Amino acid sequence: MKKVQLKNKCSLCGSKDVVKVLDLGNMPNANSFLKKRHFSKENSFPLQASFCKKCKSFGLRHAVSSKLLFKNYVYITGASKPLVEHFEKLANEITENFIHDKNDLVLEIGSNDGSLLKNIGKKARILGVDPAKDIAKKATKSGVPTIASFFNSKFSKSIKDKHGPAKVVVANNVMAHVSDLKDVFLGVKNILREDGVFIFEVHWVGNLLTEGGFDQIYHEHFYYHSLHALKNLLTSIGMNVSDVAFVPIHGQSIRVYAGIKKGTSQAVKNLLKREKEMGLISLTTYKKFSKKIKDNKKKLIKIISEIKKQNKRIVGYGAPAKGNTLLNYFEIGNKIIDYITDTTPSKQGLYTPGTHIPVVSPDILIEDTPDYVLLLSWNYAESILEKEKWLREKGVKFIIPVPKVRIV
């Protein structure tokens, strides 16, 4: 298996009518945090995106091998409290609206540490599937049975044989991460009951292009979805999008409800109309986006250079995957940022991919007071600013790079 492959046609619809619209240069994988001794062996791959004029999808031009990206994964859902709370709410919605029998099966694709399923286990049968072996093992140990595997149409057959069809299939922040999305959707269709529901959340390209940061673009995310592109693909395999809702996660995501049964809510019609009005199905919009990123780069670099000229210290807050796109593309390295704090134990003690900034426990901030904090986990800004009020009271300023650079 090749480490990286250039795609000369759209992976969703097969059309060759795809246009390159963005080039962020070569970069390592955003979640490939590493040890010092591995610096010289670090991989780096082209990070470019293109727009398909036929099915209106926006995605990467190169596919890095999924094994390389996801087998040894460091990202843990449970490390971000706002996300854990969000999944608790979703679990309640699932059990209240869709589970009527304790024997119903809820299958989660990309279940990570079981943060969602653990809230459902008392009301239904639960099963997680996740390719990260260590995380799957820990989740199983903690009471969420998790198979360490990628999910695809072939694998869905063996799950169905063993566990029966699913009443609910859920997949959050996964549908951007799948190279062969059609095959995964076919797997969902195969395992879903006639009266079942497929619920998935995915970062919305409308947010990425307007408010959200370009930093959501990295090799793990093969696609940046609009409802148009998702609906086109689901319809092509005989599935129906029944409803959609916005959720305030990762800037702004959409939660899509799909199934085999017919019927479409007004919310679906409204969002399709809005996407059209926003130009999300037009090539020009994506071309303009590239310029916007360059302008943001100039603004942030100017602010940071001025701070450094005054010999002030800057540290990073949160080491999310997206932060590594921002740091690498903006060329903000270990000469500018002393260290980055992160609550994920498996990231602490490692260095950021490409920029080689040490990742440490947030406890360091009890002893060490920097002048500025660059908030790389900007999607949790509200909750982090509240949690770290004490730092701001000590005079520490937070630089929030997305959606617009601001200092608070």
Contact residues: ligand DWN, CB under 6 A: 75, 79-83, 173, 220, 250, 318-322, 342-344, 347, 377, 379-380, 384, 387
- Kindly state the smallest distance separating residue 205's Cβ from ligand DWN, in Å: 14
Closest CB to ligand DWN belongs to which residue? 320
Contacts of 97 by beta carbon, 8 Å cutoff, 6+ apart? none
E-only strand ranges, 83-140: 105-109, 125-130
Smaller CB separation from ligand DWN, 245 or 364: 364
Q: Look up residue 272 and give its amino acid.
A: L
From the list 305, 308, 311, 300, the residue with the least C-alpha distance to 376 is 300
Smaller CB separation from ligand DWN, 278 or 385: 385
- Kindly state the smallest distance separating residue 83's Cβ from ligand DWN, in Å: 6
E-only strand ranges, 210-268: 223-224, 240-247, 253-259
- Kindly state the smallest distance separating residue 201's Cβ from ligand DWN, in Å: 9
- Kindly state the smallest distance separating residue 34's Cβ from ligand DWN, in Å: 15
- Kindly state the smallest distance separating residue 216's Cβ from ligand DWN, in Å: 7
- Kindly state the smallest distance separating residue 67's Cβ from ligand DWN, in Å: 16
Asked if 149 and 109 touch (Cβ cutoff 8 Å), the reply is no
How far apart CA 33 and CA 24 sit, in angstroms, is 19
C-alpha distance from residue 358 to each of 8, 136, 342 (Å): 37, 27, 10
- Kindly state the smallest distance separating residue 221's Cβ from ligand DWN, in Å: 6
How far apart CA 286 and CA 293 sit, in angstroms, is 11
Smaller CB separation from ligand DWN, 125 or 177: 177
- Kindly state the smallest distance separating residue 266's Cβ from ligand DWN, in Å: 28
- Kindly state the smallest distance separating residue 383's Cβ from ligand DWN, in Å: 6
Rounded (5°) CA angle 313-314-320 = 160
Smaller CB separation from ligand DWN, 104 or 220: 220
From the list 151, 227, 132, 231, the residue with the least C-alpha distance to 191 is 151
Smaller CB separation from ligand DWN, 249 or 268: 249
Smaller CB separation from ligand DWN, 212 or 259: 212
Smaller CB separation from ligand DWN, 189 or 322: 322
Asked if 105 and 40 touch (Cβ cutoff 8 Å), the reply is no
Rounded (5°) CA angle 206-258-170 = 90
Smaller CB separation from ligand DWN, 201 or 275: 201
Smaller CB separation from ligand DWN, 111 or 242: 111
Expressed in angstroms, the distance from the first to the final Cα of the chain is 47
Can you name the residues that pair with 58 across neighbouring β-strands?
A: 51, 224
**Helical axes 181-191 vs 227-236, angle rounded to 10°:** 60
Query: Distance from CA of residue 325 to its chain's centroid?
Result: 13
- H or E stretch at 227: helix 227-236
